[in-house]
Chain A
């Protein structure tokens, strides 16, 4: 990525189709755009730290919701490997966000870029891939439940 960051616009491509999940994903896009915008100018450490805090709050609330959804829809029974991989990615996210916050606090010169790369990577690899698998499963379960009632 270069210094000229163009904000990411929320699009259908990013949508999983599960409204609760999508709503919270938009928070992340917002964080990405804020981190991106801070790259162009001299980023203020407290601003970057606020972004890392947002990521951690997002992690606790959003992963809670997704993993509750997994449990309720029997994701592990359908695909044990996918569920385990998904949860591993969640745990790694929180650990990395904590590390990034420490980096920001220590005033490391590349902290903003690392933060941006991290969120970007998460969008590409987790939201566009891992979450899509879960969403397909959740939507299928919901359709089946609707058909039964």
Chain B
């Protein structure tokens, strides 16, 4: 063992006295934190980093509020956090966070704080020692990058990315505070003409001015973002309800509709259409709310622009139902789920089958056979309806040709929707179809329109009907007696047949007045030289009653149900007139018999 003298250990007091000088040479700031989180020592030169005056030691009574951020400056914790709390929660030896302190002058400093060691006090309590470095410079750089990545360069507004980042927080906050929040998608009206006629510079100027006004209109935590082009998004929080939201939106619409001064005495006028999805009111996440607001925006545009439209979940569901249905019907066309049945028309006076009516059915994969009344009117005004109508014509003509080859030559009537019938391409398509099959078969084709639909655009129907008759095709009116055709209107329609509405036939047995109506229709048909058909014949009494009124051609379940085409030849071969039809009535009058052609 060396004979050198061993020194007794330094007293704690001596160490403490030496510590400040000792640390003076260390470049980073050094801090010591009491177990309760109070800062009890900081290297004097670094006190200003915490926004404290240099002489402010001891520091035990000072409260420091800071925000914890990750080394790149992104928040680690959404809420403000006491700096000592953060230090206390740090794991040993780990880089903690950057700390942003509000300096007295309002300067934000970014500090990277790291726990270096812990000291055990006499009661077993833990004191923490940290070092910190000023990283403000790096954070500023990072923020500039973020500004670029998350903001729109032209207007300086947050962009779509930042909106997507912030919206969920805004939603959560609104829910926590039990406040209304409106998510709005806004599109400028009249912006394109500005761009097209005054140039892109003018367009940019308008966008900047709109952004400026939006920013001015935002309150508190509201957010205005540019989604791209002339589309913006607004997040309006702290709303007490729909009325409150409407007030805010009206103000924004007013602000935005003021002309924009482009300089040089030029003014640009734009307005905005805003779609609004509001919570509470419907359950949806941020993405859905934006989508709903977008849908509502289109409704605002459709309703005349320069206005806002609140998204209505029930109306949207209804729209969704109707779109789903249209796509199902298109699918049904593509997958061959439609087919035609043929119901015989019988002249009960002479006991002969005089024609067949083609009736569409939908073999629905889940719901089974569906009737046209359930689905056709739903697409009657739509392009899908035109496709279905074209399919029916095509299928019926193919059937006529097929039966023609078998020597079966009965006239066949097809129901046509008025929208389809009046379509500018209808006549051309029909002609092409006939040329493709056999123009001579036109003589055997009859087209039927419902009376009420034909009346909606009588001049167009009359024109088209005349054109069809020129092709050799017959036109008839279906459901007659339920609509409101006047006599003069009837004289303008080049129809060859009238079908009495089934409701009149159904009720004519019990109701004298309905019977009188049927009689009236029969008389009308005779006066105009039209064939009249009684539809909805469900019992023998109907046959007798119609015969008695002079209506001889009939159709209905009592006579024959709609048949699959392959069953028709056998049914016709086996057809025998019912002896009960024999007209014993004194009302019997001479009548037109035969088919519709």
Contact = CB atoms under 8 A, between A and B. Distances in A.
Interface of A: 23-24, 26-27, 29-30, 53-54, 56-64, 67-68, 71, 90, 94, 97-98, 101-102, 105-106
A30 B325 CA distance: 18
The winner among B313, B315, B317, B378 for most chain A CB atoms within 10 A is B317
A59 B377 CA distance: 14
A24 B317 contact: yes
A27 B314 contact: yes
B367 interface: yes
B367 A67 contact: yes
B375 interface: yes
Interface of A, helix, strand, loop or mixed by DSSP = helix
Given A56-B377, A57-B325, A71-B366, A105 B318 contact: no
B283 to A, nearest CB: 9
Given A27-B314, A60-B370, A94-B374, 17 more contacts: A27-B317, A27-B318, A53-B377, A56-B377, A56-B378, A57-B378, A58-B321, A59-B374, A60-B325, A60-B328, A61-B325, A67-B366, A98-B371, A101-B373, A101-B377, A102-B503, A105-B452
27 contacts: A26-B313, A26-B317, A27-B321, A30-B314, A53-B377, A53-B378, A56-B374, A56-B375, A56-B377, A57-B378, A58-B318, A60-B325, A60-B328, A60-B364, A60-B374, A60-B378, A61-B325, A61-B328, A64-B364, A64-B366, A64-B367, A67-B366, A71-B366, A90-B367, A94-B370, A94-B374, A105-B482
B324 interface: yes
A27 to B, nearest CB: 5
B288 interface: no
B429 interface: no
B322 interface: yes
Contacts, number: 69
Contacts of A105: 452, 482
Contacts of B328: 60-61, 64
Interface string B487-503: 00000000000000001
B162 to A, nearest CB: 31
Nearest to B365: A64
A68 B364 CA distance: 12
A44 to B, nearest CB: 15
A57 B373 contact: no
Nearest to A52: B377
A53 B452 CA distance: 16
A104 to B, nearest CB: 11
Nearest to B372: A98
B321 A24 contact: yes
Contacts of B315: 30
A102 B478 CA distance: 14
B484 to A, nearest CB: 9
Contacts of A101: 373, 377
The 10 closest A-B pairs by CB, nearest first: A30-B314, A98-B373, A61-B321, A27-B317, A61-B324, A27-B318, A67-B366, A64-B366, A57-B325, A26-B314
Interface of B: 313-315, 317-318, 321-322, 324-325, 328, 364, 366-367, 370-371, 373-375, 377-378, 452, 482, 503
B366 A68 contact: yes
A24 B482 CA distance: 33
A34 B459 CA distance: 34
A68 B324 CA distance: 15
Nearest to A54: B318
Nearest to B452: A105
B483 to A, nearest CB: 8
B325 to A, nearest CB: 5
A56 B378 CA distance: 8
B452 to A, nearest CB: 6
A61 B317 CA distance: 11
B454 to A, nearest CB: 14
A106 B452 CA distance: 10
Contact of A23 (B317, B370, B377): B317
A94 B370 CA distance: 9
A18 B60 CA distance: 59
A113 B300 CA distance: 33
B562 to A, nearest CB: 16
B167 to A, nearest CB: 22
A56 B375 CA distance: 7
A16 B484 CA distance: 45
A84 to B, nearest CB: 13
Nearest to A59: B374
Contacts of A54: 318, 321-322
A101 B370 CA distance: 16
A13 B482 CA distance: 41
Nearest to A71: B366
A110 to B, nearest CB: 15
Contacts of B374: 56, 59-60, 94, 97-98
Contacts of A59: 374
Nearest to A22: B317
A23 B325 CA distance: 16
B281 to A, nearest CB: 11
B367 A62 contact: no
Nearest to A33: B314
Contacts of B313: 26
Contact of A60 (B314, B375, B503): B375
A4 to B, nearest CB: 22
A17 B505 CA distance: 46
Nearest to A60: B325
A71 to B, nearest CB: 7
Contacts of A60: 325, 328, 364, 367, 370, 374-375, 378
A113 B364 CA distance: 31
B355 to A, nearest CB: 24
B450 to A, nearest CB: 9
A107 B408 CA distance: 41
Given A56-B378, A94-B374, A105-B452, A29 B503 contact: no
Contacts of A64: 328, 364, 366-367
Contacts of B375: 56, 60
Contacts of A30: 314-315, 317-318
A77 B510 CA distance: 46
Contacts of B503: 102, 106
A109 B313 CA distance: 32
Nearest to B380: A53
Nearest to B482: A106
Nearest to B378: A57
